[in-house]
Structure 1
Amino acid sequence: MTSFLEGKLSRAHQAEFESHLTQCEDCRRRLDTTVASPQEWTEVRRSLAAEQSSDPFEQRDTADSAEADQLLWCRRLLSPTDDPHMLGRIAGYEIAGLLGRGGMGIVFKGFDSALNRYVAIKMMAPQYSASGVARQRFFREAQAAAGVVHEHVIAIHCVAMWQEHPYLVMPYVQGKSLQKRLDENGPLQLREILRIGMQVASGLAAAHAQGLIHRDVKPANILMESGVDRVYLTDFGLARTVDDIRLTKTDTLVGTPQYMSPEQTNDESLDYRSDLFSLGSVLYEACTGRPAFQAATSYGVIRRINERQPVPIQDLNPDIPDWLVGIVARLMEKDPRRRFQTAAEVETLLRDCLSHVEQPRLTPLPIALSRRPNRTFVTLRRFFMTAVFLAVVVGASSLLMTGGGGNNSPLPADKTGGKPSQTKYASAQEALQAGAMLVNAGKAKESREPLEAALKLAKDDEEMMLRVYQTLLSAYRELPEFEPFQKAAEYIIERHPQDAGRSLTRRSYLAFAFNRGQMENLVKRYENVLKKDPDNRMALYLLSEIYSSGAGIPRDVANASRAVELLERLDKVNARLNRSSGPPTSEMSAADRARISLQKGRLAQQYMRAKEYLKAAELYEEIAPLDPATHAWNLKEAATAYLNLKDHDNALRLALAAEEAPAEARNDQLTYFCERQLGDTFVTLGKPGKAIPHYETALKKTTIPGYVDSTTAALQQAIRQRDQ
């Protein structure tokens, strides 16, 4: 793998390795984590430090050299702007500044003039844009976060492409990260610690209910708005589903070592409790102003996480009460079985603690914390176990006493065989929380009763129904039956308000069906749906994907032409439903035009797969003017389609048009493709002499080993043909 990344493999071995990647899930995951290493950023800084330019990016005051390097690196990505106060433009967003850099992305502060609001724009770092694995990981963040609709999880407004670089748009949080706050001010006040911990736990509970493990909970990924009154959990770039995590075995760590759980440092199977250890590490630092585990090297940090206890909190900050010390200690237990078992449990406990701190006379400390515990962890654990049992008993009794006859939603008959009883839950929210706790604890079978009760209680609340079905999806994933999962997935796909949320569920649904051997049944099911409702969008999406990929169905069933037919119908349905506002017009907003370009681009891509090259060429050429970000790319694809048709005149016309596209619409990678294609076109036309300068230009625009090797070979062949 190292030789592959460093470009040391021969072309034959490189092709063999790439073929292996398509078959080996383990190697793909290893490459996924390796490709996001920061070493390339160091190389970028070195090259940029030696670069002299009069670019306006270099004239701006910056807080440090790293930000200056980032601005220099980003300057080619931005289109010019008429606003002298802005750095440039990305699609329909004016760029006001640089907010920071993550593991594989750079974050801009942008202004959305259409909605009159500031946004944060996270763009994939240019050196990773050529990697399909890195792109997959980048889009995973958007899909994971979009699938979690919660007030303490940062929302995703949209995902798109700009100059062949993926980017996502999020709300701009006017504030700072918890990491910056700790760096500037040290330990937090007790109320602040509880308020932050409560909100982060709430966001984690929502993510866990969707089957997601964050894997990178740390102060830098916690954004604070209005002080600590509103906190957001962000950066889902490392998030995985529970099923995915259980299969993940790599030699490369992902996440920030100082906040990892012991099981994460040891590359063991993870569950939701790993995030709770990380939350405990965050709360420890909020209490003390310093990380729980520190060493000169990452290896040293990992050893301390596994072998040592952190310095006692009260040795560093005597003002922290015993009961909070106990909460943090339990979160940071080495053995996951000894931690709190769910984020929802932690949220409730911290919320009750905050109520006590703010109104000690009116609100007693939670039962689990009301005695002053011994500072040994053994006593703390025994006390917590007893207290949790008492809380469950008292809580259940209270609910039974207050439930009365005011709720007529029936539950299934109880185990004694009697009549259906009145629901023991006061609300759908309460039933949902009870079910989510069971799901997170790995008790999928037991979770069905409260979750299905929540459905009955929420029958008139579509938003609550959606949340319940999302949690049921996680529960049903663990059960042997296929139909309950199918029902939940279909509900979400039909009703989720966000495209990314629907897309994530479709992918999860198809993967689950594939693993259960149900793909042929899905084909029959949705073909029957289309017989009754030819415009059913869910059936059109799912069937087009199944037919296109051929996964889990016989070869004679897989049908690229059928996929084309379905996508053509879907394109018409989308237009009728105003998902695209009819034929593109100059009056359309840039966002609408870009959306239409992406929708039709998917159809054009399917035309190419089905070898319907004329339709592909015409559609790519049609959508090319819609979006400056994809203008040159679509022209290049149209030229490729014409080459396949042996229509060399049109291929040359469009390849030249792609080359002549405005500079802001072409980065080095796209320029490489355009120049390489022109070279290939001239060779095909029997004009190798004209191909040579294009191959030479292409070589100047790429350092990717495979591209360099193949283009060098093409150049040498053109030279030989010219000299014959």
Structure 2
Amino acid sequence: MEKMNRCNLKWPALLGWSFEVAFAGHCNRNEENIMNQRWRVPRNGLVFVSAFAIALIGLGRVASAQEDAVVAAITPEVATSDETASEVAPVYSNFREAYSAAFRFREAGDFQAAKVALQSAIELATRDREIADAHRTLISVHSELGDQDKMFESLEYVVENAPYPAFASLSIGSVNAIARRKGWVNEMKARYEKQLKKDPQDRTALVVMEAYTYNVARDHAKRGEYIDRLLKLNEEEGKPLDVEMMINRAFCDRLTRDFETAAKRYEAVSKESEDVRAYCLMEAAYCWENAGNKKKALKAALAADANGPDKRAKRSLYQWHRTLADLFLTHLKKDEAIKHFEAALEEANIDAYRDQCREKLRIANALKDS
């Protein structure tokens, strides 16, 4: 190559020399003779020199083309190598490292990278809770990647391996919201109805559909059916009585305006746990009142008042006091009405509620002493 370069450097001089000799041909004959004698180059030598120069040009171009071809052949290999390196997934040393990376990727909108990191987190997990956490996060990642089946599979894992009940219910709520937002409601319904046709006692499918009928379909009668199936399955499997599920079953009857059945269910649940007794008696009083049985309504209200707010009632003390206060006012129970309206006024967190309580207190105070 070095020799070739030296040749390439010489050919312009040779070519220029041939042009100089050719130009001399335009001089007079004597000058031409002198020139020929001076340089002693025959005319056919000019042809040879020109041809040699052209050949050198061609060789130079061929060499340049060969070098370009070599560079072109090497460049794609380097690019491919870089591309492959960029696609190599990071290596994580433990669950927490992979899980934290997944959150960063998800927040940055790189859902594919988040998915890979969460899969690594699952492989590195040392506790069941960690795997459940990873699958709960995968729910949103799969949804953003448009993978319905994987999203539902992660949900099912969470439902079946939830460390506590709210862990599963919150995840189901997330999927319900995603299904509404992405228009996957029909696919969700079809998936779990199909599973229940295959296995009517599929607990996971029953749990998902119970929440679906309440939060998405708003079909309270159908929700009641799913709760009945779950309660029966619990009984067959020897599981402890699920008080919250029984309260939800009574609530389904209340929403479908089957107040008498709802009242009976609430009273039955009130006998099962002190943590929900006062709450269920308050609900029973409300349902008996709406069912037209005022005697039973007042009896249940007085029992709730005597018990005082329980753990369940304390979730919303305003609701508990206000419901009882309205019932006592309806039955002209002045002292009880004033007591609960004053308590409701203290618990109210909205000005409109406070104004209502003050107005009702004015009416209650105007009642004759009972």
Q: Which residue number in structure 2 is paired with residue 517 of structure 1?
A: 183
Pick one of 486, 499, 502 that aligns with 2:152. 486
Q: Secondary structure at the match of 1:569?
A: helix
Residues 695 and 712 of structure 1: is their aligned pair in 2 closer, same or farther, counting only changes over 3 Å? Answer: farther
Structure 2 CA distance for aligned equivalents of residues 618 and 487 of structure 1: 39
Deviation at 1:638, TM superposition (A): 0.4
Confirm whether residue 655 of structure 1 aligns to residue 301 of structure 2.
yes
Structure 2 CA distance for aligned equivalents of residues 441 and 620 of structure 1: 48
Q: Does the Cα contact within 8 Å between 2:125 and 2:131 map onto a contact in 1?
A: yes
Offset from partner CA, 1:380-427 (integer Å, 9 cap, x none): xxxxxxxxxxxxxxxxxxxxxxxxxxxxxxxxxxx98xxxxx999587
Residues 706 and 634 of structure 1: is their aligned pair in 2 closer, same or farther, counting only changes over 3 Å? Answer: farther
Amino acid paired to 1:446: A
Confirm whether residue 645 of structure 1 aligns to residue 291 of structure 2.
yes
Residues 675 and 435 of structure 1: is their aligned pair in 2 closer, same or farther, counting only changes over 3 Å? Answer: closer
Deviation at 1:520, TM superposition (A): 2.2
Structure 2 CA distance for aligned equivalents of residues 571 and 600 of structure 1: 8
Identity of aligned residues (%): 22
Deviation at 1:576, TM superposition (A): 3.7
Q: Does the Cα contact within 8 Å between 1:678 and 1:694 map onto a contact in 2?
A: yes
Q: Which residue number in structure 2 is paired with residue 530 of structure 1?
A: 196
Deviation at 1:535, TM superposition (A): 2.3
Q: Does the Cα contact within 8 Å between 1:692 and 1:715 map onto a contact in 2?
A: no
Structure 1 CA distance for aligned equivalents of residues 259 and 359 of structure 2: 27
Residues 561 and 702 of structure 1: is their aligned pair in 2 closer, same or farther, counting only changes over 3 Å? Answer: closer
Residues 484 and 707 of structure 1: is their aligned pair in 2 closer, same or farther, counting only changes over 3 Å? Answer: same
Amino acid paired to 2:145: L
Pick one of 616, 639, 642 that aligns with 2:262. 616
Q: Which residue number in structure 2 is paired with residue 679 of structure 1?
A: 329
Residues 487 and 652 of structure 1: is their aligned pair in 2 closer, same or farther, counting only changes over 3 Å? Answer: same
Pick one of 212, 215, 233 that aligns with 1:546. 212
Trace 1:237-316 onto structure 2 (pairs within 5 A). none
Deviation at 1:546, TM superposition (A): 2.4
Q: Does the Cα contact within 8 Å between 1:624 and 1:630 map onto a contact in 2?
A: yes
Structure 2 CA distance for aligned equivalents of residues 714 and 545 of structure 1: 37
Residues 476 and 695 of structure 1: is their aligned pair in 2 closer, same or farther, counting only changes over 3 Å? Answer: same
Trace 1:32-431 onto structure 2 (pairs within 5 A). 429=95
Q: Which residue number in structure 2 is paired with residue 409 of structure 1?
A: none
Residues 691 and 478 of structure 1: is their aligned pair in 2 closer, same or farther, counting only changes over 3 Å? Answer: same
Deviation at 1:645, TM superposition (A): 1.0
Amino acid paired to 1:645: A
Structure 2 CA distance for aligned equivalents of residues 711 and 463 of structure 1: 46
- Tell me the TM-score normalized by structure 1: 0.33
Give unpaired runs (5+ residues) of structure 2. 1-82
Q: Does the Cα contact within 8 Å between 2:267 and 2:281 map onto a contact in 1?
A: yes
Amino acid paired to 1:574: N
Confirm whether residue 445 of structure 1 aligns to residue 112 of structure 2.
yes
Deviation at 1:562, TM superposition (A): 0.7
Amino acid paired to 1:696: I
Q: Which residue number in structure 2 is paired with residue 559 of structure 1?
A: 219
- Tell me the TM-score normalized by structure 2: 0.61
Deviation at 1:444, TM superposition (A): 1.5
Which of the pair has the greater relative contact order for Cα pairs under 8 Å at 6+ separation? 1
Deviation at 1:699, TM superposition (A): 3.2
Deviation at 1:567, TM superposition (A): 1.1
Structure 2 CA distance for aligned equivalents of residues 467 and 660 of structure 1: 43
Confirm whether residue 598 of structure 1 aligns to residue 264 of structure 2.
no
Deviation at 1:432, TM superposition (A): 3.9
Residues 615 and 713 of structure 1: is their aligned pair in 2 closer, same or farther, counting only changes over 3 Å? Answer: same
Higher helix share: 2
Pick one of 684, 701, 716 that aligns with 2:343. 701
Deviation at 1:663, TM superposition (A): 7.8
Structure 1 CA distance for aligned equivalents of residues 213 and 124 of structure 2: 36
Deviation at 1:511, TM superposition (A): 1.3
Deviation at 1:713, TM superposition (A): 4.9
Confirm whether residue 568 of structure 1 aligns to residue 234 of structure 2.
no
Q: Which residue number in structure 2 is paired with residue 469 of structure 1?
A: 135
Q: Which residue number in structure 1 is paired with residue 71 of structure 2?
A: none
Deviation at 1:608, TM superposition (A): 0.9
Residues 693 and 721 of structure 1: is their aligned pair in 2 closer, same or farther, counting only changes over 3 Å? Answer: closer
Structure 1 CA distance for aligned equivalents of residues 143 and 261 of structure 2: 40
Indicate the structure (1 or 2) with the bigger Cα radius of gyration: 2
Higher strand share: 1
Trace 1:450-461 onto structure 2 (pairs within 5 A). 450-452=117-119, 457=123
Structure 2 CA distance for aligned equivalents of residues 459 and 661 of structure 1: 47
Superposed CA RMSD in Å reads 3.8
**How many pairs were matched up?**
274
